[in-house]
Every structure is written in C-alpha cells, then in structure tokens.
Amino acid sequence: MASGGQMRNVASLLLLLNFCMYVIVVCIAGWATNIAIDRGFIIGPGFDLPAHFSPIYFPMGNAATGFFVTFALIAGSVGLASAIAGINHLRAWHIDSLPSAASAAAIAWTLTLLAMGHQFEGFQQSEYIFVHKISKMRLDLKHVLFKPEASGRQIRTSVARENEMQIN
C-alpha cells in the first residue's frame, strides 16, 4: 500500500492539473462572454427588442452556446474554489479538511457535467438541422434535374405525382 507522502504527491499533481483546467475554462468562457457583450444587442430609448430576443444571446455558435458558456463560467469558478479547498486540504492533510474539499469538488464536477450536457444538446440540434438541410438540398436538386424538357414533354417525378394526388 502506498504511504501518505506518496499519495500526497499524487494528489498535489492531480490538483495542479485540475486547477489549470479550470483556469483555461474560465478564461475561454470569460472571453466568449466578453465577445457576446461587445457584439450583443444595443437596447436603449428608441430601440425595440428583436423578435426572438434572448437575454443569453451569443453572436457565435448555435442556440445552446449561451447556456453552455454561462454554465461553463459558473462551473469554472466553482472548480477554482474547489481547487483552493483542495490546496487547504493538502496543506493540512487531515481527515477534518477532507469533507469540504470533496464536497466542493463534487459540486464543481456536477456543474461541469451540466455544461457539457448543454453543449451535447446543442450538437444534437445542429446535427438535426444539418441533416434536414441536406435532405432539403437533395429535394431541390431533384427539381432542378427533372425540369420540363425543351420539347415541352415533362418527366413525371414522385413529387409531381404526389401534388396531383393532393389536388384530386
């Protein structure tokens, strides 16, 4: 079994990696929030709200980007706080300081999973929209390929037959 000193070295290395990860998350989420504030809607006297106004509007990404960046910023801040609690536990290295560090780490991990869940939802929405656009492009391509010929004779497509059946 590993001694306490070896476990302390492993824990400090993992804590350092965790701290660096959360610093990167907070920096990127803060940058994205700054861009959203700078390029967001201008609302003032004489300006009307846009038709589909959302208080979490981001001029980049898809509809889930605003929620992802917001939760990532919250998760990064809580993660940094949990890293500080972990540093306190490493300094004391006593059973009394473990529960506060572990609970803060669990909350930060849960918020990180929440932010990832919002982004995966955005990926699914984007994939659905992409597949829908591709299928619509294929239908448009069929209409272009099966246009009436110059001689006046028309090639009947399945779409034309469906339209005739709907009329009758």
In a domain? residue 96? yes
In a domain? residue 157? no
Range of the domain at 54: 8-133
In a domain? residue 51? yes
Q: What is the pLDDT of residues 71-105, one digit of tens each?
A: 899 999 999 999 999 999 999 988 898 898 999 99
In a domain? residue 48? yes
| Mean predicted confidence (pLDDT) in 5-31 | 92
Q: What is the pLDDT of residues 26-69, one digit of tens each?
A: 999 999 888 888 877 666 677 666 666 666 677 777 777 888 88
Average pLDDT, rounded, for the chain: 75
Q: C-alpha angle with apex 11: 9 to 12, nearest 5 degrees?
A: 65
In a domain? residue 164? no
In a domain? residue 28? yes
Global pTM reads 0.65
Q: How many structural domains is the chain composed of?
A: 1
DSSP one-letter string for 73-136: HHHHHHHHHHHHHHHHHHHH-STTTHHHHHHHHHHHHHHHHHHHHHHHHHHHHHHHHHHHHHHH
In a domain? residue 71? yes
